[in-house]
Amino acid sequence: MRLVVGITGASGVKLGLKFVSLLPSTVHPFIVISNSAKTAIQCEENRETLSTLSQYTVYEDDDISAPIASGSFGSDAMIILPCSMNTLAKCSVGIADTLITRTFSVMLKERKKTILAPREMPLSPIALENMLKLSNLGVIIAPPVLGYYSNQETLHDMENFLIGKWFDLLGIENNLYKRWGTQ
């Protein structure tokens, strides 16, 4: 699977980085980190955190000529995790001024599976309208919302639950969390 992972400047960039680190070898990620995400990494983690991505294909967000910006590249799916409200708004009105938003618009026109994980609370009426519009266009809106039935006890457990749910949406087999009805 060729998976585009956009990491934007919302709180929770660690989730995007951990998502990538847990991908199985059958998934080839193409990663784009926005400039705002790099700032968030400095605030929430540290700059060295980006060095963990050195084994992957990583593009700069201003490189709109990158292969993933074309439908002929053949990406299978895309997730924007976390998805800032700015990126969500741009996606909802077709603004494609960065590699992340341009690739999103390609995925939309190609009718490829696309997931946005908006990270904000509370949600404004504008954000809710944007999410509804995108959902009606076939985009999966999957914010990081916990399901307590899997009995998470640590932050690590909570993150694995969320990542496991996103993997499920992408059809990536995993056992990152306790599923409903299992011991």
Average pLDDT of the chain, as a whole number: 94
Contact 4, 102 (CB under 8 A): no
Pairing verdict, β 113-118 and 57-60: unpaired
* Tokens describing residue 178: 């306790």
pLDDT band at 148 (very low <50, low <70, confident <90, very high): confident
- Cα(89)–Cα(23) distance, rounded to whole angstroms? 28
* pLDDT tens digits, 46-86: 666 677 788 999 999 999 999 999 999 999 999 999 999 99
Contact 6, 177 (CB under 8 A): no
- Cα(53)–Cα(67) distance, rounded to whole angstroms? 18
- The pLDDT score that the predictor gives to residue 46 is 64
**Is residue 41 over pLDDT 90?**
no
Q: 1: which residues sit within 8 A by CB, 6+ positions away?
A: 26, 27, 28, 76, 77, 170, 171, 172
* pLDDT tens digits, 91-110: 999 999 999 999 999 999 99
**Is residue 111 over pLDDT 70?**
yes
pLDDT band at 45 (very low <50, low <70, confident <90, very high): confident
How many CA atoms lie less than 13 Å away from 65 in the CB half-sphere?
A: 0
Q: Find the distance separating the first CA and the last CA of the chain, reported in whole Å.
A: 31
In this structure, how many other beta carbons lie within 10 angstroms of the beta carbon of residue 24?
10
Average pLDDT over residues 124-150: 95
- Which of 138, 92, 84 has the alpha carbon at shortest distance from 111? 138
* Tokens describing residue 29: 């990620």
- Cα(68)–Cα(2) distance, rounded to whole angstroms? 10
